[in-house]
Amino acid sequence: KRFSGSQSALLDPKMIVEDADLAGPLAFALLLGGELLLTGKIHFGYIYGFGVFGCLSMTLILNLMSPSQAVSVWTVASILGYALLPVNLLAAVK
């Protein structure tokens, strides 16, 4: 129930900023790694490295654009992690 509620929270930005969980994004990253593993490609390092770099750089950009209200790394990681859902669906189709 909580997992599906977090997915629907992507439509309401205020809801996801208040609750930045990382269980769903971690599951999506592991699922993407598993899908790539099934194709015979081992890219776990690329997935996590690109994800960490993207989260840190997006946090930096957001905090530079809005210095009055700070955005945490965990909030950005949660939002970008849940954005992996369409990538996982496309990887499953392929």
pLDDT, tens only, 9-52: 556 666 666 677 888 888 998 898 888 888 887 777 887 888 89
Contacts of 27 (CB under 8 A, 6+ apart): 3
| pLDDT of amino acid 42 | 78
Which residue type does 92 have?
A
What is the value of pTM for the model shown?
0.75
User: CA-to-CA distance for 30 and 70, rounded, in angstroms?
Assistant: 29
Q: Which residue has the higher pLDDT, 89 or 14?
A: 89
pLDDT, tens only, 59-77: 999 999 988 888 889 989 9
3-state helix, strand and coil shares in percent for the chain, rounded to the nearest 5: 80, 0, 20
**Exposure of 34 in the CB half-sphere (CA atoms within 13 A):** 9
User: CA-to-CA distance for 24 and 78, rounded, in angstroms?
Assistant: 8
DSSP 12: -
